[in-house]
Structure 1
Amino acid sequence: MPQNADNVLDHFNLFRQPEYKEMFENKQKNFEAKHPADKIEEIREWTKTKEYQEKNFAREALTVNPAKACQPLGAVFAAVGFESTIPFVHGSQGCVAYYRAHLSRHFKEPTSCVSSSMTEDAAVFGGLNNMIDGLANTYNMYKPKMIAVSTTCMAEVIGDDLNAFIKTSKEKGSVPQNTTFPSPTPRPFVGSHITGYDNVIKGVLEHFWDGKAGTVDKLERTPNNRSTSSAVSMATRSATFARSSASSA
């Protein structure tokens, strides 16, 4: 296999190696009972027809992915949508394994997410050392431009100060000083994965709008005579701005 300790590949490159491509093709052929490509294409085209539209809107009840999970799951989902961004969950390894497994099974693609792997001693004495080591490993392996930090219940119960931990990690050289950290998203006991998703998006927008945690000047809103056609268009422009800012961070 191409993965080794001297050259650690992230999942984007690792699972595109010939060995893994062959493994996935064998899995699909012998274990997944996959429909033929022409049948898949036929169904895809049918979903664009008027017949499908009428059947779809005729539904009286519909449940799509009804599981209600905690905030960090939504935080991870939102973070991976930004270019060169890695989600970092401060908490136990088991929780993060669930987030990765859930998103990987849903999208049928591997999902990267880093855990600080807090255990019993960190639950008693705090997870600062886990954060310092975890961020160092994250940067050395993935070289991200932005790291989106969230917490699990364990870190919230003991009251770890994420902003202070991030500052200390930078001071100790775990990550470069110019590494971007949007506002951390704690409170996993409140809301659901939808709340976590919204909080990450809000944290990213606020981070770049308010001057990247004080490292640059805040952006100024300039009034003009144009009117916004809809809230959707405003949200789209904001998301585009955040993505481009993250890429240049």
Structure 2
Amino acid sequence: KRFAIYGEPDLVYSVVGFMLEMGAEPVHILVNNSNEIFEAEMKELLASSPFGKNATVWGGKDLWHMRSLLFTEPVDFLVGNTYGKYLWRDTKIPLVRIGYPIMDRHHLHRYATIGYQGIINLLNWTVNTLFEEIDRNTNIPSKTDISYDLIR
């Protein structure tokens, strides 16, 4: 799957690293408060994986810029905080919520985002977001009394 991500440098770097290990392809990496050191380290991380070769790091840009990118080069999912909700509404690209702030989900701030449990949570949030999108777009009714749509 291809994804776009935005947020704070440390979180973005970590999530991109995990997604690369999972075989996901970053396309747009947007960090508003980026600097030369972060961008050099991110480019090194992207170069370390065959999945990172088509990614672009956008430093000093905002979500309005991300909106334009998502319309011109869409991805399968978006990773970021609550403010991505507006991008999801405009582009219909599913949002995996992580980072700060998360204001539109009840108690999501209580779940770990670092360490082993944090990675398990991120994996669950990502996979379930993709499943929700598959379910939302499924229009094939069951042809029998048994529906395999419930089984993943």
TM-score normalised by L of structure 2: 0.51
Q: CA, structure 1 residues 108+129, in 2 after alignment: closer, same or farther (shift >3 Å)?
A: closer
2:70 aligned with 1:135: yes
Say if 1:72 and 1:167 are closer, same or farther in 2 by CA, change over 3 A.
same
**Matched residue, 1:74:** 14
- Once the two structures are TM-superposed, the CA of residue 193 in structure 1 deviates from its matched residue by 7.4
Instruction: Identify which of 38, 50, 56 aligns with 1:114.
Output: 56
Task: Report percent identity of matched pairs.
Answer: 8
Contact 2:96-2:126 at 8 Å conserved across structures:
yes
User: How far apart in 1 are the matches of 2:125 and 2:138?
Assistant: 17
**Cα deviations across residues 16-66 of structure 1 (Å, max 9, x unaligned)?**
xxxxxxxxxxxxxxxxxxxxxxxxxxxxxxxxxxxxxxxxxxxxxxxxxxx
- Displacement after TM superposition at 1:110 (Å): 8.0
Which residue of the partner structure matches residue 186 of structure 1? 99
Listed as ranges, the gaps of 5+ residues in structure 1 are 1-68, 120-126, 152-159, 171-176, 222-240, 242-249
CA distance in 1, matches of 2:23, 2:52: 13
What's the offset of the Cα at 1:205? Answer: 1.4
Give 1 or 2 for the bigger CA radius of gyration: 1
Give the number of the structure whose residues are more often strand, by fraction.
2
Are residues 206 and 109 of structure 1, via their aligned partners in 2, closer, same or farther at CA, if it must alter by over 3 Å? closer
What SS is found at the alignment partner of 1:186?
coil
Cα offset, 1:162, TM superposition: 0.5
RMSD of Structure 2 on Structure 1 (CA)? 3.9
Mark the CA change 1:115 to 1:163 in structure 2 (over 3 Å): closer, same or farther: farther
Q: How does 1:148-227 map to 2 (within 5 A)?
A: 148-150=78-80, 161-168=83-90, 170=91, 181-187=94-100, 191-192=113-114, 197-212=119-134, 214-216=136-138, 220=150
The Cα shift of 1:215 comes to: 3.1
- Cα distance change on mapping 1:150 and 1:211 into 2, 3 Å: closer
User: Could you tell me how far 1:138 is from its partner in structure 2?
Assistant: 3.9
Query: Where do 5+ consecutive residues of structure 2 fail to align?
Result: 1-8, 102-111, 140-148
User: Equivalents in 2 of 1:213, 1:183: separation in Å?
Assistant: 16
Cα 1:181–1:166 change in 2 (3 A) is same
Change (3 A) 1:109 1:138: same
Within the alignment, does 1:90 sit opposite 2:21 as a pair? no
Q: What's the CA shift for 1:132? A: 1.5
Structure 2 distance, partners of 1:138, 1:102, is 22
Q: Against the structure 1 CA distance between its residues 202 and 108, is the aligned structure 2 distance closer, same or farther, given a 3 Å change threshold?
A: closer
Distance (Å, rounded) in 2 between the aligned partners of 1:73 and 1:199: 17
| 2-structure distance, mates of 1:193, 1:74 | 11
Whether the 8 Å contact between 1:70 and 1:191 is mirrored in structure 2 is no
TM-score (ref. length: structure 1)? 0.35
1:191 CA drift (Å)? 4.9
Question: 2:123 is matched by which residue type in structure 1?
Answer: I
Within 1, Cα distance between the matches of 2:46 and 2:132?
31
